[in-house]
Amino acid sequence: LSEVCYYLQPETLRGVLDREVPRLAPGATVIAAHWRHDVDEYPMNGDRANDIIGATAGLYHVGGYRDPDVVIEVFDNDFGTSVAARTAVPGA
């Protein structure tokens, strides 16, 4: 979901996510990377887009990165289980 969600109206993004997240394969990982600054032509900024994504039923926050310009969030549909735990790394 990189660099596209803030082009949508918030309610449209919510509808797309509500429709598509249940269709993800089990154990799917979703990356949301967006520009954080307000742009007059965009209905929302990246922070708002990622907030909507993060509030989606069936997605669980795994990690992320944030600086003054970009926000990157990682979600999965496996209850936020770490990669180490999902792949049976000893000690995880």
The CATH number linked to 69 is: 3.40.50.150
- Which pLDDT belongs to residue 13? 98
Number of domains in the chain: 1
Could you tell me if residue 53 is inside a domain? yes
Whole-model pTM: value is 0.87
pLDDT digits (tens, 9 = 90+) for 5-59: 999 999 999 999 999 999 999 989 999 999 999 999 999 999 999 999 999 999 9
Could you tell me if residue 9 is inside a domain? yes
> What does the block give as tokens for 14?
């919510």
Domain boundaries, position 75: 5-86
Mean pLDDT estimate for the chain = 94
pLDDT digits (tens, 9 = 90+) for 50-88: 999 999 999 999 999 999 999 999 999 988 787 788 888
Could you tell me if residue 92 is inside a domain? no
Could you tell me if residue 91 is inside a domain? no
Distances (CA, A) of 86 to 28, 29, 74, 78: 11, 12, 15, 9
- With contact defined as beta carbons under 8 Å apart, do 3 and 33 qualify? yes
Counting every residue written for the chain, the total comes to 92
